[in-house]
Structure 1
Amino acid sequence: MPITTDVLVIGGGATGTGIARDLTLRGVDVTLAERGGLSAGTTGRSHGLLHSGARYAEADAEGALECLEENQILREIAGECIRETRGLFVQVAGDDSAYFDEKRAACEELGIPVEVVDGDDAREAVSGLAAAVERAMWVPDAVVLPSRLVAATAADAREHGARILTHAPVESMVLEGERIDSVSLGGAAETVVEPEFVVNATGPHAGAVAAMAGVTVEMRPTRGVMVSVDHDGLEPVLNRCRDPADGDIIVPHDDEVVLGTTSVPVDDLDEFERDQQEVERTIRECATMLPAVADAPQVRTWWGIRPLYEPDEAARGGRGISRGFVQLDHAEDGVANFVSIVGGKLTTYRRMAESVSDLVADRLGVGNSSTTAGRELIGASSASELDAFVDEFDGRGPTDADLVDQDG
């Protein structure tokens, strides 16, 4: 029997599950389909930083404020999905001091809490910090465990009536006039969904999914490498205070740190080059902040694909410091019941989901507004419950592989 539903959400990363949760809390009947386990794509293959907004402050004030606000919301609603660490932007000898000053001024203007310290004070606070660090700036960054966050969001959606279908790739769509009439799912689902509305939240795959509905979504995906190495006791996230470049972030876990990242265009989202030189360059650059990582044993290496929207990236001129999201209403392309969401950051997933859900609710005539900012995620206070959700939804990713189940 076909599944009849108000909304079919395609994509089981942070944004897709966030949309499912938002809409179900408004009383909408939602079915979510993910081609693999939850967070199998971009979300689960990130570096796991919860941005404070400081990274974007001088280049994108609006995006920085979004990060700051969502950072604060997630600390309230996501419990054991978040690790309180703080963040430290460091200026290394040879870095442009004017860039540091510009970032500090922008943070202060936007209300992002900052505290500037000299190199000696920074080294006293962070064991092993490089002697070349001349000054640093504390900001309220944190670490997010994407496997837990996505699983909890999906479980919350299911608690309120959503169907969560994993290992259910979209195989085809049938259009009747200007509407998607049905969507065929394969894999473990092997069913047909008959939706009133369809949301494409498939990250870098958005173009391929949109093409099934005869719509063009131009993407410019880039790969980035993350390397986890043995290193015990780092408290804050370390950010190199310079223009975006390879190897400018170190994210602390317990006995490991995650080093990232690079940005290289890719054509094939599944079969792309894994360049060992990128790994070596990332380690080498991160070692300018924390020298011990240069010789630390490598635990695991993974690659993520950024879901960048081509027109947005072209306007920005290539690798930019902002990562805003773009909502594409395909009614303008002749498909009245279809929307795609592309770009964005893990930190702002809830806001992205709210934006899409506002559009969908309006089209469906649903008057209820979003309540996700003020409602704690189901299981958020229990690491073991969250990790059980991760297992249930086959949601383990490399980003937090050393932390999930470690606290349960």
Structure 2
Amino acid sequence: MTRSTSVLVIGGGATGTGIARDLALRGVDVTLAERGGLSAGASGRSHGLLHSGARYAESDATGARECIEENRILRDIAGECIRETRGLFVQLPDDDPTYFDAKRKACEDLDIPVDIIDGESARDAVPDLSADVERAMWVPDAVVLPSRLVAANAADARDHGGDILTHAPVNSMTVEDGRITGVSLGGEFSERIEPTIVVNAAGAHAGAVAELAGVAVEMRPTRGVMVAVEHGGLGPVLNRCREPTDGDIVVPHEDEVVLGTTSVPVSDPDEFTREDREIEQTIRECATMLPAVADAPQLRTWWGVRPLYEPDEAARGGRGISRGFFRLEHADDGVENFVSIVGGKLTTYRRMAESVADLVCERLGVDETSSTAERELPGASKPAELDAFVREFDGQGPTDTDLVGR
């Protein structure tokens, strides 16, 4: 079977579904193909933090500004995909106080709201907080439920004429005269797609997808472990106020907390070693902020793979720098109707999607502008409807399995 589409989006994470939604709302004929269920990659296997930008404020002003702007937008449009928690950066005795001060100033310069409190006030707000906390900083972090967020974007795309194909892996591409003329899908949709434009939003697999078109996209994927342990009643996200490293974030759910994370390069985003020592290290480091998690029952463990772009990582020196995104046009590589989007963070998925949709619409001669920053996601105020979308698109990831469908 053969079908034609104006745009084929490859990848069913937040960015891919966000692109499909943005294009469908502009009246563009769009098809999305995902090799598994939605949220199967980095989006659904994250720690679920909605960044305020504070984490990157002193190292990347542009990235931090994008985070706070998108944080505010998602609070307006995503409803029950977001849990309002706030975030608390805490300083322990081993942490450099000048780093705390630099982060505070950078946040203030970027209009990221901060409120400095002493250790006693921090423990009043978070009773289980370590007695060693010397001071802390409130920031507008929150928790995102990626399974709901991704599925809601897909549902809006579908409701506006888009086709969402799950369990539809890309098997091959045909390139003729500098254009992709056909994409063969397998799985539940054994058919050939004939697209006008192809968008590669495959995350850590973007390099492998690009190879099918004869294009090189250099990725540097890194694995990170998340550990959910039993612990109820934590209010804010906890961040260790030091240079980003292993085990420096605790994300609250209702009856548990998610501890994260590590960063280890992998050569294959599907096949990689999972080290027990990383689990132990993550728990040990997070317990410096929240001692009770050291002996709390472990509920589940999962690993995510970050879709990092190799040239940027090499230039910036790796971990600790904001995860910016990159829109790669492949006309110079000999394939004029092919675009890749790599890097980025879950928090900035909508902005990434808008950037790609702007380019695609320019190529197609579509004058409509993006409306995704103002338009509420379907089911945003109805958790049961959001959870139905997750089931419809087989989109349940491990990050929020305890919260979706409660």
Deviations 1:266-288 (A, max 9, x none): 01211111100000000000000
Secondary structure of the residue that 1:99 maps to in structure 2?
Answer: helix
Residue 398 of structure 2 is matched in structure 1 by: 398
Q: C-alpha separation between the residues in 1 aligned to 2:310 and 2:336?
A: 23
2:349 corresponds in structure 1 to 349
Q: CA deviation at 1:332?
A: 1.4
Match of 1:274? Answer: 274
Q: Taking structure 1 as the reference length, what is the TM-score of the superposition? A: 0.99
Q: How does 1:82-121 map to 2 (within 5 A)?
A: 82-121=82-121
Matching residue's letter, 1:402 = D
Partner of residue 211, structure 1 = 211
Superposition deviation, residue 58 in structure 1: 0.5
2: CA distance between counterparts of 1:80 and 1:400?
12
| SS of the residue 1:88 aligns to | strand
Equivalences for 1:170-319 in 2 at 5 Å? 170-319=170-319
Residues 14-73 of structure 1 deviation map (CA, whole Å, 9 limit, x = unaligned): 000000000011110000000000000110000000000100100000100100000000
Query: What is the Cα deviation at residue 320 of structure 1?
Result: 2.8
Q: Distance in 1 between matches of 2:27 and 2:393?
A: 23
Q: Using the alignment, how far apart are the partners of 1:83 and 1:191 within structure 2?
A: 40
Q: Describe the SS at the equivalent of 2:217.
A: coil
Q: TM-score, normalised by structure 2?
A: 1.00
Quick one: which amino acid aligns to residue 403 of structure 1? L
How far off its partner does 1:130 sit? Answer: 0.1
TM-superposed CA distance for 1:333, in Å, is: 0.7
After the TM superposition, which residues 154-173 of structure 1 pair with which residues of structure 2 at under 5 Å, given as runs? 154-173=154-173
Quote the Cα distance in structure 1 between the aligned partners of 2:396 and 2:208: 25
Corresponding letter in the other structure for 2:231: H
Q: Distance in 2 between matches of 1:127 and 1:228?
A: 20
Amino acid at match of 1:101: D
Contact 2:245–2:320 under 8 Å retained in 1:
no
**Matches of 1:26 and 1:375 in 2, distance apart?**
12
Deviation at 1:321, TM superposition (A): 2.5
Counterpart residue type for residue 241 of structure 1: C
CA contact (8 A) 2:6 2:196 kept: yes
In 2, Cα distance between equivalents of 1:270 and 1:172: 19
Look up the equivalent residue of 1:133 and give its one-letter code: V
The CA deviation string for residues 79-122 of structure 1, in whole angstroms up to 9 with x for no partner, is 00000000000001110000000000000111000000000000
3-state DSSP of counterpart to 2:269: coil
How big is the shift at 1:346? 0.1
Aligned residues: 406
* Aligned AA (1:156): D
Q: Where do 5+ consecutive residues of structure 2 fail to align? A: none
Matched residue type, 1:392 = E
Shift of 1:127: 1.5
Aligned to 2:368: 368
| Separation in structure 2 between the aligned mates of residue 114 and residue 84 of structure 1, nearest angstrom | 16
Spell out the pairing of 1:119-158 with structure 2 (5 A cutoff).
119-158=119-158
Q: Deviations over 1:242-299 (max 9, x none)?
A: 0011000000000000000000000121111110000000000000000000000000
Give 5+ residue unaligned stretches, structure 1.
none
- The separation in 2 between residues aligned to 1:320 and 1:49, in whole angstroms, is 16
Q: Deviations over 1:160-202 (max 9, x none)?
A: 0000000000000001111000000000011110000000000
Amino acid at match of 1:385: E
Percent of aligned positions that are identical: 76
Q: Which moved more, 1:337-346 or 1:267-276?
A: 267-276
Root-mean-square deviation over aligned CA pairs:
0.5
Q: What SS class does the counterpart of residue 341 from structure 1 fall into?
A: strand
Q: 1:38 and 2:38 equivalent?
A: yes
Look up the match of 1:381: 381
Residue type of the alignment partner of 1:279: I
